[in-house]
Amino acid sequence: MVRVPPEQGSGARLELRLGDASANPYLLIAATIAAALLGVLAGEEPPAPLEGYGYDTARSALLPATLPDALDALEADTALTELLGKDFTASYLTYKRDEVARFHRHVTDWEFTEYAYHL
């Protein structure tokens, strides 16, 4: 999930392609650095680079598709939760799972528009 653009010299850079505008930037940076540190400490080698279209899901690792799946993956990653802090991670998981529960208690505009005519 890191892109290495072809520019050389002063234009050379790495692009982290995971985060988006909805991410907490502080958490994103902390988790990224923690994950990189865990990889270094474990002696992990980076995967082979993908050539061509980098968004081909048949050739790249898939991330969790939903917030509940992502929260479950975070909880299962004991090394990362240890590094981020057990208390922080437990609080974060509780807060975000409550957010998911609150979302599921509401009818979205799409659901209303799609199904209201059946009533």
Q: Residue 118: enclosing H or E segment and its boundaries?
A: none
d(CA 107, CA 116): 11
Q: Which residues pair with 16 in a beta bridge?
A: 2
Q: Which residues pair with 96 in a beta bridge?
A: none
Q: What is the pLDDT of residues 31-70, one digit of tens each?
A: 999 999 999 999 999 888 877 787 777 777 788 999 999 9
pTM of the prediction? 0.78
Contact 64, 14 (CB under 8 A): no
Q: What is the pLDDT of residues 8-41, one digit of tens each?
A: 999 999 888 878 888 899 999 999 999 999 999 9
User: CA torsion, points 49, 52, 53, 57, in degrees to nearest 10?
Assistant: -50
d(CA 21, CA 30): 16
